[in-house]
Chains A and B, each alone.
Chain A
Amino acid sequence: MKGIAIAFPWRISTLMFFTGIALVWLSCKKDDPPEDGEQDLTHIPYAPQAYTIVKPAHFPQIQIPADNPMTVEGVQLGRRLFYDPILSADSTQSCSSCHLPQGSFTDNLAVSTGIDGIAGRRSAMSLQNVAYATNRLFWDGRSPTLEDQALLPVEDPIEMHNTWPNVIEKLKKHPDYPARFRKAFGINTTKGITRELAAKAIAQFERTLVSSGKSKFDRYLQGELDALDDEELDGKLLFFDEGQVVGLPDAQCFHCHGGLTLTGNQYFNNGLDSVGTLDEFVDKGLGEVTGNPFDNGKFRAPTLRNIALTAPYMHDGRFQTLEEVIEHYSSHGKPAPNRDPLIPTVGFPIPGTNPVKYSGLTTYQKQALLKFLHTLTDTDFVNNPDIQNPF
């Protein structure tokens, strides 16, 4: 028994050592000559440093995919690619054109416009805490991972309208990028620059877009109980359905915007459109991806972190203000066969109604909720120098 207990870790460490040696051996192909037109990069040191994401202590751990470990060099490369218009066909738009730091990585437009001046049909989603996104990405969930998501805007005809082969050619000929790809991923020649590595670098940078933990709400959560005033506390109670205060109903917010990132990472029909049948939705959302009519009109619940900075609201930017958003939910939205069952239950049950109806929120309750939403503003995050445009 004792002997086994000693032998096991020895075997693991030995295995890791030999595996590492094998991987390094396979990657160090200095004697492979570059192909025509390709640039030898092996004179550039490849010594990536592990990158540790800085997150608030009260936030959960972040899951990093095994095939895209975070490195300082990878994050630096991704940051540049994120802000560089080199990705678009006419070199006028970058990821940051629609995801600007001051808008908590939105563009504050109802819908975004691509390089050809064509308006898209949906609003740019906030990237704050996107490292915590599970259950797919985009409003309609069409992308399984951050790495996959980063590939799509480049070739979207109403976004960057480029092709990845064209982007890769530009990156290969760039005076700076080949060395950065070498330092981040250990490629030996420019032939190693691929769309997959570009996407991995962008995803690494995007995973660093984590809250500062210094919003009023975060300070309250970390024990600074006077960080919220009485009205903001009432808004918090309404939001989180704590049910402990007589006179405050359930605003039902946290069911879809739960957890510290204030998104449940799920897809809902939140009663935006009145339809008689499931086929009537103009934008089918999740249903476009799944092909299931019951998913029509469902969209991903976005994070409410920094929500005061991300107007306009909803997937199509139909609401200009948070007041309009609150009014939408207080009035229970519009009917649809797959409207989420919680939407009509905001407020108190109205006595004597059968079937039961709910009261919605009073003017004070709406104001309290609004004030609470403003406690989610995190200017330290949007002003973090490490996530600004490096150019």
Chain B
Amino acid sequence: MKFSLAGGLLIAILAFIGCKDNTDSGPTSTFTITFKALYDGQPLEKFKAYDYDTYKVQLTRFNTYMSNITLLGGTSGDVKISDIEWVNFTPDLAPDNFAVPVPIAIANVPDGDYTGIRLGYGVPPNLNAQQPKDFPAGHPLSNENEYWLGWKSYIFNKIEGQVDLNSNGQADGALIYHCGSDAVFREYTFNLPVKVEPGAGITVEFDLKTLFVLNGTWLDLNNAYNQITSNDVNDVVIANELMDNFGNATTVK
């Protein structure tokens, strides 16, 4: 008896939820951006010995903050659809060594045709001025693992690996790029038709081989100061160069 009463009540609640008023705006959809990590056009594979200039590199970690994600040129103008996302291609418990695609579903995006998308690389200054304690648990910026206490900045991205400079099968150098400061925040615009409708989405690919080729020249890993950037006084130059090149290393489709 009580079960049936409770069941009836739940049905009534469900019916209540179903009567949603949707007259305050036009139709919206969930828009999915799928981020992928590549090396030389192929899915990035951790610990694979990749050709890099005249030597080999193995990549072991790649994650990045993406921000101010904005669809451009809609009928009502530009629409910012996300302030910040954390994209981790190399979680510790991945099923294999391949970088995982990271789909991010963004709800309530106004349907329609857009002419492009703008992406922020890293954490924009207004958010970077805050700290993990300022965000609710579960928010991408509540993740204190990606925050530098020392510099009071989020770590915009981490790209890590090791280098075999002698091509003898033994790692003899590091490749550690942690970029993060207001000075290295970048935004890039990609012009392409984007349609938002139920089930729609785009793919954003980062090719790390392209990232490491700066103005047609490989970033020289024989130079110790090119192997590591933690954004300190010695290696902020490399962080700037990498962030300058991230747009070139990105393909949106």
Contact = CB atoms under 8 A, between A and B. Distances in A.
Interface residues of A, number: 64
A260 B230 contact: no
A250 interface: yes
B225 interface: yes
19 contacts: A7-B21, A15-B17, A26-B2, A60-B144, A62-B137, A134-B145, A141-B92, A243-B230, A243-B231, A243-B232, A243-B234, A254-B148, A259-B145, A265-B145, A294-B46, A295-B92, A337-B47, A341-B176, A345-B228
Interface string A218-262: 000100000000000000010011111000001000110011110
Q: Is the interface of A mostly helix, strand, loop or mixed?
A: loop
Given A18-B13, A241-B150, 12 more contacts: A18-B16, A22-B10, A136-B93, A240-B149, A255-B178, A258-B144, A258-B149, A259-B149, A292-B97, A294-B46, A341-B171, A345-B227
B112 interface: no
B165 interface: yes
B26 interface: no
B154 to A, nearest CB: 11
B116 interface: no
Interface in A353-368: 354-356
Contact of B150 (A21, A22, A254, A298): A254
Interface string B202-234: 000000000000000000001011011011111
B174 A61 contact: no
Interface of B: 2-3, 5-6, 9-10, 12-13, 16-17, 21, 23-24, 46-47, 60, 91-97, 131-133, 135-138, 142-145, 147-151, 160-163, 165-166, 170-176, 178, 222, 224-225, 227-228, 230-234
A341 B148 CA distance: 19
A341 B24 contact: no
A141 to B, nearest CB: 6
Contacts of A57: 133
A221 B144 CA distance: 15
A182 to B, nearest CB: 19
A371 to B, nearest CB: 17
B93 A289 contact: yes
Which one of B171, B222, B227 has the highest number of Cβ atoms from chain A below 10 Å of its Cβ?
B171
Nearest to A355: B172
A52 to B, nearest CB: 14
Contacts of A59: 133
A1 B12 contact: no
Contact of A15 (B13, B136, B150): B13
Contacts, number: 153
B150 A259 contact: no
A149 B57 CA distance: 37
Given A4-B23, A22-B10, A136-B93, A58 B145 contact: no
A344 B233 CA distance: 21
B147 A22 contact: no
A215 B49 CA distance: 45
A22 B9 contact: yes
Interface string A343-381: 011000100001110000000000000000000000000
B18 to A, nearest CB: 11
Interface string A27-67: 00100000000000000000000000000011111111000
A342 interface: yes
A290 B12 CA distance: 45
B165 A258 contact: no
Contacts of B94: 290, 292
B79 to A, nearest CB: 19
A242 B150 contact: yes
B21 A260 contact: no
B137 A63 contact: yes
Contacts of A338: 47, 60
A61 B162 contact: no
Contacts of A139: none
B16 A11 contact: yes
Contacts of A383: none
B144 A261 contact: yes
Contacts of A264: 145
A241 B46 CA distance: 26
Given A4-B23, A19-B13, A289-B93, A355 B232 contact: no
B145 to A, nearest CB: 5
A135 interface: yes
A267 interface: yes
